């Protein structure tokens, strides 16, 4: 189960996220569902469109079943499969 303690090591595809902070003002406040992930980006589906968002210099607010958690995207800058394998600890 995904929690605030293991979120950095967990799969993000399918999570509902909001861009809490970003150096790109055009994506500030963007909300949607993570549909794909690479080492440096998330593809977020919002309003029927898919947008690629850089992880670096972005803070994501993920909606978990019982809470909302903010995570600095730079902590997620690994290939998703490597991050899950390594089991990175709580950020």
pLDDT-derived band at 91, boundaries 50, 70, 90: very low
- The CATH T-level fold of domain 7-77 is SH3 type barrels. (2.30.30)
pLDDT-derived band at 90, boundaries 50, 70, 90: very low
Residue 48: pLDDT above 70?
yes
DSSP 8-state assignment for residue 34? E
Please classify residue 23 by burial: count the beta carbons closer than 10 Å to its beta carbon, then call 0-12 exposed, 13-18 middle and 19+ buried: exposed
pLDDT-derived band at 2, boundaries 50, 70, 90: confident
Residue 82: pLDDT above 50?
yes
Q: State the pairing for strand pair 31-37/58-63.
A: unpaired
pTM: 0.87
% helix / strand / coil in the chain, to the nearest 5? 15, 40, 45
pLDDT-derived band at 87, boundaries 50, 70, 90: low
């Amino acid at each position: 189960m995904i929690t605030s303690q293991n979120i950095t090591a967990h799969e993000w595809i399918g999570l509902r996220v909001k861009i809490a902070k970003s150096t790109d003002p055009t994506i500030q406040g963007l909300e949607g569902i993570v549909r794909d992930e690479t080492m440096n980006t998330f593809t977020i589906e919002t309003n029927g469109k898919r947008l690629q968002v850089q992880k670096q210099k972005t803070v994501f607010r993920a909606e978990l079943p019982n809470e909302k958690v903010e995570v600095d995207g730079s902590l997620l800058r690994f290939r998703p499969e490597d991050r899950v394998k390594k089991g990175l600890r709580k950020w």
